[in-house]
Amino acid sequence: MSLKRTNFQRVFLLGAVLLVLMFSIFPFIQILSTSLKYQVDWGNPSLIPAQINLDAYKELLGISTEEIELPETIKIMLDSPAISEEQRAAIVKKFKSNANVFPFGRYMLNTFVIATLTALLSTAIATFAAYALSRLKFKGRSAFSNMVLFVYMVGGVLLMVPLYQMSVSVGLASSVTGTLISLLLIYLVQTLPVAIYMLGNYFRTIPFSLEEAAMIDGYSRTEAIFAIIIPLSRPMLLTVMIYCFVIAWNEYLFASVFLKQYHDFHTLPLALQTLFTSKNAIWDRIMAASMLTLLPVIIAFTVANRFISSGGTEGGVKE
């Protein structure tokens, strides 16, 4: 805005920009750096690893090539002639699989599946609701849209106890399938308001005359939605889907309440927290796991980046 800057002002400005940049990305660099360091190097404040250590990544991604040593007692047991060939194979297999204590891939898959289902379901339901709210006249429309805004701002913590009790009283909490269904439904409802809100705002920017023209051409209202609105909204639908995906990908609270005893179905946030609290002195693995959890989100947002700054932030996005 100032027309001419003195050299001092220019240096000051650039210095301040650099400071802000450092503040923003320092923790990320720290995470990346520690994930690549050997243990002896952890306490070294330098961000550049003395020697690159990829073991943590290899281990998490299951491409570690190290042979797992069987304990001596087991070896002796295996040599005993009383054990059949099949039993021997089973014991060896059990030990080899147990050695992989942190099945990162499994957790990533769990999280990916539930986040994808959430994103698809939520966007589909929200598309119809948002269309109705932005286009159709019906009694109770504004009441419904006020309600969406209200529930959008009610945090999950306030619903934790009643939702848990509901799931217990209808019997869903007592089985794995039921628990997973409960969790999926909760993620759906946690993302639905923000999806309706974002899509509603977007649909209002599409000129109604386009649908009108389609309807004059003989399309029904519903057909016009599929022929006009949905194709036109493809980028926004993708953005909303990514948004919902990321909310589910990040969710910790309900996952911890519902999935605690089902270790096989842990999602990444829950698994990482468990990993962190269960053992000490494994900074490299935790940091590598952090990097791998971060990656899909960064990719997702790079894809959606163009649209985020335009529509997504109005009114404060769901966090």
Partner 1 sequence: MSDFIAAQESKLGYRMVAPAFLVIGLLILYPIFFNVYLSFFDVQLNGEKSFVGAQNYSKLLSDSGFYDSLGTTLIYLTGTVIGTTVLGLAVALLLNEDFPFKNTVRAIVLLPYFAPVISVVFGWQFIFDPVNGVYNHMMVEVLGWSAERRNLIGEPDSAIWVVIIFDVWKHFPIAFLLILAKLQSIPRDQYEAAAIDGYGAWGRFVNVTLPECRFVIATVVLLRLIWNLNRFEDVYLLAPNVETLPIYIYYQAFTGVIDQGLAAAISVVQLLFLSGLIWLYVKKVLKW
- The stretch near partner 1 (CB under 8 A) out of 81-89, 90-98, 142-150, 233-241 is 142-150
Nearest distance from C-beta of residue 110 to partner 1, angstroms: 14
- Closest C-alpha to 285, from 48, 31, 50: 31
Nearest distance from C-beta of residue 25 to partner 1, angstroms: 6
Nearest distance from C-beta of residue 162 to partner 1, angstroms: 4
Nearest distance from C-beta of residue 261 to partner 1, angstroms: 12
* Amino acid occupying residue 160: M
| CB of 222 or CB of 278, closer to partner 1 | 222
Asked if 14 is part of the footprint of partner 1 (rule: CB under 8 A), the reply reads yes
- Which of 71, 162, 218, 231 binds partner 1 (CB under 8 A)? It is 162
DSSP H stretches of helix in 100-205: 104-135, 141-152, 157-169, 176-203
| CA 212 – CA 177 distance, rounded (Å) | 45
Q: Coil, strand, or helix at residue 89?
A: helix
Asked if 146 is part of the footprint of partner 1 (rule: CB under 8 A), the reply reads yes
Q: What is the footprint of partner 1 within residues 172-231 (CB under 8 A)?
A: 185-186, 188-189, 192-193, 196, 221-222
- Which of 50, 83, 105, 150 binds partner 1 (CB under 8 A)? It is 150
Asked if 102 is part of the footprint of partner 1 (rule: CB under 8 A), the reply reads no
Nearest distance from C-beta of residue 71 to partner 1, angstroms: 31
Distances (CA, A) of 97 to 62, 101, 279, 284: 11, 8, 19, 22
Is the CB of residue 241 less than 8 Å from the CB of residue 120? Answer: yes
Is the CB of residue 270 less than 8 Å from the CB of residue 259? Answer: yes
Q: How many residues does the chain have?
A: 319
Nearest distance from C-beta of residue 107 to partner 1, angstroms: 11
Asked if 68 is part of the footprint of partner 1 (rule: CB under 8 A), the reply reads no
Residue 110: which residues within 8 A CB-CB, separation 6 or more? Answer: 265, 266, 267, 268
Asked if 48 is part of the footprint of partner 1 (rule: CB under 8 A), the reply reads no
- Which of 48, 68, 161, 213 binds partner 1 (CB under 8 A)? It is 161
| CA 300 – CA 246 distance, rounded (Å) | 8
Asked if 31 is part of the footprint of partner 1 (rule: CB under 8 A), the reply reads yes
Nearest distance from C-beta of residue 191 to partner 1, angstroms: 10
- The stretch near partner 1 (CB under 8 A) out of 77-85, 93-101, 139-147, 232-240 is 139-147
Asked if 56 is part of the footprint of partner 1 (rule: CB under 8 A), the reply reads no
| CA 270 – CA 259 distance, rounded (Å) | 9
Residue 93: which residues within 8 A CB-CB, separation 6 or more? Answer: none
- Which of 158, 209, 218, 231 binds partner 1 (CB under 8 A)? It is 158
Instruction: Note the Cα 262 to chain centre separation in Å.
Output: 19
- Closest C-alpha to 194, from 164, 231, 155: 155
- The stretch near partner 1 (CB under 8 A) out of 63-71, 73-81, 86-94, 162-170 is 162-170
- Which of 63, 76, 101, 157 binds partner 1 (CB under 8 A)? It is 157
Asked if 261 is part of the footprint of partner 1 (rule: CB under 8 A), the reply reads no
* Amino acid occupying residue 175: S
Asked if 108 is part of the footprint of partner 1 (rule: CB under 8 A), the reply reads no
| CA 176 – CA 258 distance, rounded (Å) | 10
